[in-house]
Amino acid sequence: MVGKKVILLRWIWLLPAVLCTPVFAAEECYTAAATGGAVTFRVMQAGAPYTGTFRSFSGEVCFTQGRITRIDAALDPASVDTGLPELDAALKEKDFFALREYPRVTFVSTSVQSQGDTHTAHGTLEIKGNRREVEIVLRSQPADGKISVSGSLVLDRLQYGIGAGEWTNTKWLGAEVKLDIRATLSRKQ
């Protein structure tokens, strides 16, 4: 313990430099616009691919010199749109998203590696109270002063309790769910 304190003191002269860093390498944060994006999912039903969309999500992505430093995103499972109202209603119930207890799906990055316009984000995905470490590969592209971001993620719905009870039958409802993410980011005011 004494040793650690000594080391801290030895480096304390760096503190002003650390505090001033943002001045030299400012972090620019962007928010995902409500329009101009979607999160679509693809899952196998009775041996055939099925797709649906989540219309509402929000998020903040911070860049430092073109590299993503932080992603903090949330999705509203209540905005699910499969085109079949009956199915949308069923997806909000306890066997699937259990909206009353878990109104949001969240992703918070722990580390992001950026290489040009490709960003590999590691972070915690929380769905229905189940947290898992996941990797999401995103691509960013400047678009009219905004940034368009797209990426995808494959997950096992059973790890998150999506499709409980009889729906754990993966012959009829595939375990693998592919999410495609498209978002338009605007500079945070």
Partner 1 sequence: MAKFRNSEESYGILAQVLHWCVAMLIFVQLPLGVYAANLPVSLARLQWLSYHKSIGITILVLALARLAWRWIDAPPALPDTMALWERRAAHAVHWALYVVPVLAMLAGWLYASAAGLSVNWFGILLIPDLVAKNAELAPLFKALHHGLVGVLVLLLIGHVGAAARHAFLVRDNIVQRMLPAAWWGKK
Q: Which residues bind partner 1 (CB under 8 A)?
A: 45-52, 82-84, 86-87, 89-90, 166-167, 169, 172-173
- Select 31 or 79, whichever has its Cβ closest to partner 1: 79
Handedness of CA 133, 87, 73, 63 (dihedral sign): positive
- Select 51 or 111, whichever has its Cβ closest to partner 1: 51
Question: At closest approach, how far in Å is the CB of 153 from partner 1?
Answer: 21
Tokens of residue 118, six digits: 């490709």
Tokens of residue 162, six digits: 């999506």
- Select 90 or 98, whichever has its Cβ closest to partner 1: 90
Question: At closest approach, how far in Å is the CB of 164 from partner 1?
Answer: 12
| Residue 179 CB coordination number (10 Å) | 19
Q: Residue 133 region, left (φ>0) first, then alpha (ψ -120 to 50), else beta? A: beta
